[in-house]
Amino acid sequence: MRTKYTFPSGLVLVAVLTFLFSFVPFPDAGAAMLTSAPVPLIALPYDDPTRIEAPPIISVQGTIQTLSAVITVNYLPSGATGQFGDPCLAWPAGAQDAFSYAASIWSTQISSSVPIVIEACWTNMGSPYILGHGGGNYALLSRAPYGYSFYPDALANALSGADGNGGSPEIAVAFNSAFNWYFGTTGSPPSGYYDFASVVLHEIGHGLGFAGSMNFDNGNPSDGTECDGINGDGCWGWSGYPALFDRFADNGSGQGLINTAFFLNPSAALGAQLTSNNVYFDGPNADAANTANGSGPVKLYAPGAWSAGSSYAHLDYATFSGTENALMVYAIPSQTVRHSPGPVTLCLLKDLGWTVPATCDTIDLSSHANSFGYGGGTGTVGTLNGGCCDWTAVSNDSWLHVTSGSSGKGIGVVGYSVDPYAGAVQRTGTLTIAGITYTVTQAGLPPVAGFSFTPLAAGGVPHNVFFSDTSTGAATWLWDFGDGGTSNLQNPAHTYTAVGTGSYSVSLTVSNPSGTDVVSHTVSVSSCGSQPVMTMPAGVPNSGLQAAYSVTSNNAIIEMQAVTLTGPFDMSRSVSVTLEGGYDCEYSADRIDTVLNGLVTIEGDASLVMDGIIIQ
């Protein structure tokens, strides 16, 4: 059978394709095995620096996700012939490294216990449009719920757990040496260069099952019989059985294209559908991942003019180009980098039967918590790469807001913001993303230390000072009174007992979960002690004592001055005498420390020493 490729300029490339049938047992059922037609990727002749990064391997509950498949590449040497008839050339430097990089991406996105072998050929295709082509070998299997269908060998092996195709390659690909290729894996291609890893990823995707058996007859016998030789007829199937991919193909009204109640095989009615720009892949997982288009059936590339190899076997270009799902559109510009399958393609493969990361039962987050300061801020959290299920993101606290990505399917990023916080104690809030709790903690304001104290004047021993905390945001207090004394009360009193005039540096350290602050003030203390603070020496004229002394009542005030007593100071009856003045410390009546009862007699010249005494 011969299949014609038609390209945008009207250029036609004819490639000879052979379906190989060998009836051999497969672990699930004895069935025919064949090689499909290769599916090309077309070069668009302009630069577009759009970049889609490789999907990360995301941590799941503290462990690394271990979905994996071993992919082995057989690089055909110069002089060999590829599976699709391509004459192979020597591989250029760097090409195999870029190929291995692309294969390693796929190896983390699907799961298979059976190694997948890829035959790879470097060739000159003689075309300025085809970057490469590839496809899979297929086995006819009967598996519920579909009955007999042609499964790609790589998937058939993964489902059965055994190599049912005898060690032959499951996938065959070839790449056109005639282009300017960029073999890097992290940088950006120069102008006019095509990213090789992106093209390899694309062609491997076809070999994993992103292709069907639909065909369109152009009525040209020289090109071989695509269907029945009648121009405009569409058809499907190999040996009367559909490819597994075909079982999910619908039109926009939900009518299955292989349902002969709607469209005979072959028929003009089917041909009209295949060129209607109205063909969809309708699988539950792919539909769920198609969030940008209402989570409905996934539109396939079905232009009004059938383009062999491109029509039906790709995502719709207008719908998906420039999005995270662009890998499997039919063409790629120079400079464009597409290093991720995207959720739609991964979930489409899941509909076919592949195990891909993060089904609805295992979706998780790239992290589970974050912390912020009192000033607030913004953050993002990714849902687990590759999932095919719905998820939503909601905040459970008024100060925590979801700002983007409030819902999605599969791969996604949730943006959120945290309000500023004026409290002193750390607070905790949560987001619920895909049913999983994401915790956000926020520190409070750090404290600001401050205090006042009374009395500010000096006093006698013991000298009591009362301290008042004026700090903000404090949760703990530590006072250092400067004389070795400390306290952790908020508003303490402290007694200074040292005699004399002194200055004490008093510090207050306050703390809360957000920080610590310290403030210091100088407290001056002039204390009257138990030693004399004034004497009245002999020989000084008596000028004030007698004038101030009175016993006409039961209370008398003696103003202590430097005077000489010339006669007896005799209290013959009980009176109250208050001593004021003459001290370094000015005692008032409420600061009396000592009370004496009895008779005090001073005769002749003498010195009188008083220290805040009431004489009764």
- 489 and 593 in a single domain? The answer is no
- Is 562 domain-assigned? yes
Q: Output the domain CATH number for residue 438.
A: 2.60.40.10
Cβ(391)–Cβ(434) under 8 Å? yes
Q: What is the pLDDT, as a whole number, of residue 463? A: 74
Per-residue 3-state assignment (H helix, E strand, C coil) for 421-483: CCCCCCEEEEEEECCEEEEEEECCCCCECCEEEECCCCCCCCEEEEEEECCECCCEEEEECCC
Same domain flag for 6 and 51? yes
Local confidence band at 526 (pLDDT 50, 70, 90 cut-offs)? low
Is 323 within the bounds of a domain? Answer: yes
* Pair 268, 322 in one domain: yes
Q: What is the pLDDT of residues 101-145, one digit of tens each?
A: 999 999 988 889 999 999 999 999 999 999 999 999 999 999 888
Question: How many distinct structural domains can be found in the chain?
Answer: 4
* Whether 34 contacts 85, CB under 8 Å: no
Does 469 have pLDDT greater than 50? yes
Q: Do 504 and 374 share a structural domain?
A: no
The residue-averaged pLDDT of 13-29 equals 31
Report in angstroms the alpha-carbon separations of 487 from 496, 513, 594: 14, 20, 30
Query: Interior CA angle at 485 toward 481 and 487, to 5°?
Result: 80
Does residue 376 form part of some domain?
yes
| pLDDT value at 30 more than 80 | no
The verdict on 319 and 401 lying in the same domain is no
Co-location of 162 and 223 in the same domain: yes
State whether 138 and 183 are in the same domain. Answer: yes
Is residue 176 located within the same domain as residue 36? Answer: yes
Range of the domain at 468: 451-527
538 lies in a domain? no
Indicate the pTM of the whole model. Answer: 0.61
362 in any annotated domain: no
Asked if residue 599 belongs to a domain, the reply is yes
Within-domain flag for 540? no
Is 7 in the same domain as 138?
A: yes
Cα–Cα distance for residue pair 364/146, rounded to 1 Å: 31
pLDDT digit string, tens, across residues 215-241: 999 877 665 557 988 999 999 999 899
Residue 402 has pLDDT above 70, yes or no: yes
pLDDT number for residue 276: 97
Residue 533 lies in a domain: no
User: Which domain-ending residue is among 352, 387, 415?
Assistant: 352
Residue type at 414 in one-letter notation: V
Do 268 and 166 lie in a common domain? yes
> Any residues with CB less than 8 A from the CB of 398 and at least 6 apart, and which?
none
CA 182, CA 194: separation in Å to the nearest integer? Answer: 6
Q: Where a domain ends, among 324, 352, 380?
A: 352
Least reliable range by pLDDT among 177-191, 215-229, 324-338, 592-606: 592-606
Residues in the chain, total: 616
From 383, 410, 442, give the residue that closes a domain: 442
Residues 409, 342 share a domain: no
Question: Do 342 and 433 have their domain in common?
Answer: no
In terms of average pLDDT, the best of 47-61, 100-114, 325-339, 497-511 is 325-339
